[in-house]
Amino acid sequence: MSSIILSAANICKSYHEMNEKITVLKEVNLTVHSGEMIAIIGASGSGKSTLLHILGGLASPDSGVVLVENQNMATMQERQRCHFRNRYLGFIYQFHHLLPEFSILDNVCMPLWIGGVSSEHAKNQALDMLERVGLTARRKHRMAELSGGERQRAAIARALVTGPRCILADELTGNLDHATALNIVSLMKELTRETQAGMILVTHDLSLAAMCHQRYTLRSGELLIVE
């Protein structure tokens, strides 16, 4: 049995808007093992992004505990939490790709620079990662010069370059055609196997979800396993 990378227990979250209470998550439980890629499916507004933000320590739940590598980000100091996020987590989003002013190589170096890695080391690691996702030839280009699929490859490289233990991907194939999306997800799957990290993929596409080891659906605040 592989080890547990991420575990969430009894996560509840609700928002108050104009005296109205909107319950987004009700007692959500989730476990991700190393080398496992899971999919979370759900209608728009079902709270998938909210859940990912809570798992990544970017938002705090009303109650419940999230452990990443047995550590609880909620009890950490702000600086410590940032450092932890830098080391252990990788985020990939649909739209918020790369920083447009920097080259692809610099974008991939960014999390290493933030983590205090020397620039030469960072460059070497970033180049290795870019080679892994097949973007070596594009390293000097800016984001604007890349296609949607290439941008997501670069975003994957950036998320994985620090060797994180868990990757949180929010609809990373949302605006790609089906063939490119399949391609990206199989790359993610290979990388999950190679790095033995945990991977959480939020998607609307059932055929992409089918490529994952485990599927969950988020419906009226409850996370249910799809058999």
Partner 1 sequence: MEKTMMFFILLLIIMIAVFNLVSMQVMLVNEKTSDIAILRTLGATSGMIMRIFLIQGGLIGTMGIFLGAMFGIVLASHVTAVVNLLQNIFHIQFISADIYFLNYLPSKLLWSDVWHIVSVSLGLCFIATLYPAYRAAQVQPAEALRYE
Ligand X SMILES: Nc1ncnc2c1ncn2[C@@H]1O[C@H](COP(=O)(O)OP(=O)(O)OP(=O)(O)O)[C@@H](O)[C@H]1O
Residue 6 Cβ vs partner 1, minimum distance, rounded to whole Å: 16
Can you tell me the distance from the alpha carbon of 19 to that of 174, in angstroms, rounded to the nearest whole number?
Answer: 33
**Which residues within the stretch 55-74 sit at the binding site for partner 1 (CB under 8 A)?**
56, 58-59
Count of residues that interact with ligand X, criterion CB under 6 A: 12
Q: Is residue 44 involved in binding partner 1 (CB under 8 A)?
A: no
Query: Are 93 and 172 in contact, with CB atoms under 8 Å apart?
Result: yes
The tokens describing 193, both together, are 């196997």
Per-residue binding letters, 98-127, with partner 1 (x by CB under 8 A): -x----------xx--xx------------
Can you tell me the distance from the alpha carbon of 159 to that of 110, in angstroms, rounded to the nearest whole number?
Answer: 10
**Which residues within the stretch 151-190 sit at the binding site for partner 1 (CB under 8 A)?**
158
Residue 45 Cβ vs partner 1, minimum distance, rounded to whole Å: 11
* Residue-wise DSSP of 194-217: HHT-EEEEE-S-HHHHTTSSEEEE
Stretch that binds ligand X, among 28-36, 44-52, 77-85, 183-191 (CB under 6 A): 44-52
Count of residues that interact with partner 1, criterion CB under 8 A: 24
Q: What does R_g of the chain's alpha carbons equal in angstroms? A: 17
The tokens describing 172, both together, are 């990373």
Half-sphere exposure of 51 (CA within 13 A, CB side): 36
Can you tell me the distance from the alpha carbon of 80 to that of 113, in angstroms, rounded to the nearest whole number?
Answer: 16
Residue 50 Cβ vs partner 1, minimum distance, rounded to whole Å: 8
Query: Are 110 and 99 in contact, with CB atoms under 8 Å apart?
Result: yes
**Which residues within the stretch 2-21 sit at the binding site for ligand X (CB under 6 A)?**
15, 17
Query: Are 160 and 167 in contact, with CB atoms under 8 Å apart?
Result: yes
Q: Is residue 50 involved in binding Mg ion (CB under 5 A)?
A: no
Q: Is residue 91 involved in binding partner 1 (CB under 8 A)?
A: yes
Binding positions for ligand X, rule: CB under 6 A:
15, 17, 22, 24, 42, 44-50
Give the interface with partner 1 as residue ranges (CB under 8 A).
Answer: 49, 53, 56, 58-59, 78-79, 82-87, 89, 91, 93, 95-96, 99, 110-111, 114-115, 158
